[in-house]
């Protein structure tokens, strides 16, 4: 089923509002989810609406949060998210970081005690839209085996980066530190498709191609990905005094409980280094250089990070966004949720 960006935004906003968030916050969630679907990151788009709706309806996300931004230094601060939807809190925290970096050259802003915030590209692109470099990392629930381990400890702990080029084009790199994000497993489940054997392990620690048998994910590049997810947990969890490692709450354990997750935004102002104009010029040049690299056999061209997503966004703008039929049926229905997620995960303790 194909829908326009506006239709999808409206459907998501309506459902999330019906589940219990204010229209303003429901609209903020829809912004981030539509951003993900429009960029082809369906693992973090409309597919997540029912989970959020269930968590909101059951009280595991604060529908009347009191946000507070605590400036802790000239370039540092903590945005207290009061266990609101992460999408809205992380966006507002990035607004604060942008103001700070415009003034002081750099900003490091923690987003403390929030729910899941979705695709981090949304937040780093806020920075890039303001002619700044954005970096964002966040915790997610423990579902990844550390290198050499047989049980999960870290989350899929994503890292995102965006830098502005010219003509509104950015380089945007945004990845889970696992071979695949958990959402990709959910997407495979929703389509009833097998997954590659390199993504995940079953309850015996054996590689599996059945998305329904997945018990833990694998880090990218063995010990290196494991090291990166450790770094993310230190920066977005331990640094903010939040639960860390396997003490981070599970997404599916108890949907009535707040999750107390952490996220960290780092924003750098190129004006305070080599200057904005030469920075944007060089980013545009590096994008072009990458596109000019001779492709390896089997590849049509080299893309710069984020280029394919940006091209998808343009195509979806023209032709509508592809949404799985079941998800569309749910979105247009009167059902708030089907009690499908609470205590349903193989990772639930
Ligand atoms: P992915 O594997 O789809 O893409 C990773 C990166 O590789 C992207 O920057 C993409 O632009 C780049 N890329 C992919 N193919 C490319 C190509 N041919 N040429 C050049 N660059 C290419 O991303 P992944 O790891 O599946 O993550 C998906 C989303 O999940 C992200 O938005 C991430 O923030 C989100 N996520 C959120 C979590 C949370 O708790 N909030 C947890 C984990 C992931």
In a domain, 105, yes or no: yes
Across the chain, what does the average pLDDT equal?
Answer: 95
Q: For residue 156, what is the domain's CATH number?
A: 3.30.1370.60
In a domain, 302, yes or no: no
Report the percent of the chain where pLDDT is more than 70. Answer: 99
Query: Considering only CA atoms, which of 31, 46, 18 is closest in space to residue 186?
Result: 46
Q: Whose CA is nearest to atom 17 of ligand 1?
A: 303
Report the percent of the chain where pLDDT is more than 90. Answer: 85
Q: Is 119 in the pocket of ligand 1 (CB under 6 A)?
A: yes
The β-bridge relationship of strands 261-268 and 159-164 is unpaired
In a domain, 22, yes or no: yes
* pLDDT band, residue 184 (cuts 50/70/90): confident
Instruction: Identify the weakest region by mean pLDDT among 68-72, 241-245, 295-299, 315-319.
Output: 315-319
* pLDDT band, residue 349 (cuts 50/70/90): very low
DSSP 251: T
Q: Is 250 in the pocket of ligand 1 (CB under 6 A)?
A: no
Pair 250, 158: CB distance under 8 Å = no
Candidate of 175, 184, 261, 262 to mutate for ligand 1, largest count of ligand atoms within 8 Å of Cβ: 175
pLDDT tens-digit series, residues 52-67: 999 999 999 999 999 9
Pair 42, 180: CB distance under 8 Å = no
Q: Is 118 in the pocket of ligand 1 (CB under 6 A)?
A: yes
pLDDT at 202 over 50: yes
Q: Is 263 in the pocket of ligand 1 (CB under 6 A)?
A: no
Q: At what angle do helices 5-19 and 325-332 cross, to 10 degrees?
A: 60
In a domain, 52, yes or no: yes
Atom of ligand 1 nearest to the CA of 86: 41
Query: Considering only CA atoms, which of 347, 24, 75 is closest in space to residue 186?
Result: 347
In a domain, 198, yes or no: yes
pLDDT at 148: 83
Rounded mean pLDDT of 211-230?
94
Q: For residue 113, give the H/E element and its range.
A: strand 106-114
pLDDT tens-digit series, residues 115-126: 999 999 999 999
Atom of ligand 1 nearest to the CA of 263: 41
Which structural domain range is residue 99 located in? 2-275+310-332
Rounded mean pLDDT of 75-103?
98
Candidate of 141, 158, 293 to mutate for ligand 1, largest count of ligand atoms within 8 Å of Cβ: 158
In a domain, 61, yes or no: yes
* pLDDT band, residue 326 (cuts 50/70/90): very high
Q: What is the pTM for the complete model shown?
A: 0.95
Locus of tokens 């509508």: 320
pLDDT at 183 over 80: no
Of 201 and 301, the one with more pLDDT? 301
In a domain, 284, yes or no: no
> How many C-beta neighbours within 10 Å does residue 296 have?
7
In a domain, 282, yes or no: no
* pLDDT band, residue 191 (cuts 50/70/90): confident
What is the whole-number distance in angstroms between the Cα of residue 172 and the centre of ligand 1?
A: 10
Dist. CA 73–CA 82, nearest whole Å: 21
The number of distinct structural domains making up the chain is 1
pLDDT at 348: 42
Rounded mean pLDDT of 227-238?
98
Query: Considering only CA atoms, which of 177, 157, 121, 87 is closest in space to residue 313?
Result: 121
Of 171 and 148, the one with more pLDDT? 171
Rounded mean pLDDT of 318-333?
94
């Amino acid at each position: 089923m194909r829908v326009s960006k506006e239709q999808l935004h409206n459907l998501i906003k309506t459902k999330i509002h019906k589940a219990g968030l204010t229209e303003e916050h429901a609209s903020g969630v829809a912004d981030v989810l539509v951003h993900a679907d429009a960029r082809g990151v369906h693992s973090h788009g409309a597919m997540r609406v029912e989970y959020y709706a269930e968590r909101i309806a059951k009280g595991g996300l604060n529908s009347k949060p009191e946000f507070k931004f605590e400036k802790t230094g000239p370039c540092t601060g903590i945005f207290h998210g009061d266990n609101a939807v992460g999408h809205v809190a992380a966006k507002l925290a990035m607004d604060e970081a942008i103001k700070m970096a415009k003034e002081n050259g750099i900003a490091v802003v923690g987003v403390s005690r929030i729910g899941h915030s979705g695709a981090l590209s949304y937040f780093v692109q806020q920075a890039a839209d303001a002619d700044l470099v954005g970096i964002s990392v966040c915790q997610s629930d423990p579902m990844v085996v550390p290198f050499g381990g047989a049980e999960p400890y870290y989350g899929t702990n994503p890292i995102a980066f965006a830098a502005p080029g010219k003509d509104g084009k950015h380089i945007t790199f945004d990845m889970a530190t696992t071979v695949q994000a958990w959402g990709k497993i959910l997407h495979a489940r929703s389509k009833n498709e097998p997954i590659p054997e390199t993504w995940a392990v079953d309850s015996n620690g054996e590689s599996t191609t059945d998305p329904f048998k997945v018990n833990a994910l694998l880090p990218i590049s063995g010990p290196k990905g494991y090291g990166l997810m450790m770094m993310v947990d230190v920066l977005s969890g331990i640094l903010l005094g939040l639960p860390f490692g396997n003490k981070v709450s599970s997404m599916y354990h108890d949907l009535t409980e707040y999750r107390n997750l952490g996220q960290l935004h780092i924003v750098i102002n190129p004006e305070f280094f080599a200057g904005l104009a030469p920075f944007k010029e060089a980013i545009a040049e590096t994008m072009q250089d990458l596109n000019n690299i001779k492709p390896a056999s089997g590849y049509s061209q080299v893309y710069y990070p984020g280029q394919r997503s940006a091209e998808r966004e343009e195509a979806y703008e023209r032709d509508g966004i592809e949404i799985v039929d079941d998800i569309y049926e749910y979105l247009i229905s009167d059902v708030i949720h089907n009690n499908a997620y609470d205590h349903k995960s193989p990772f639930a303790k």
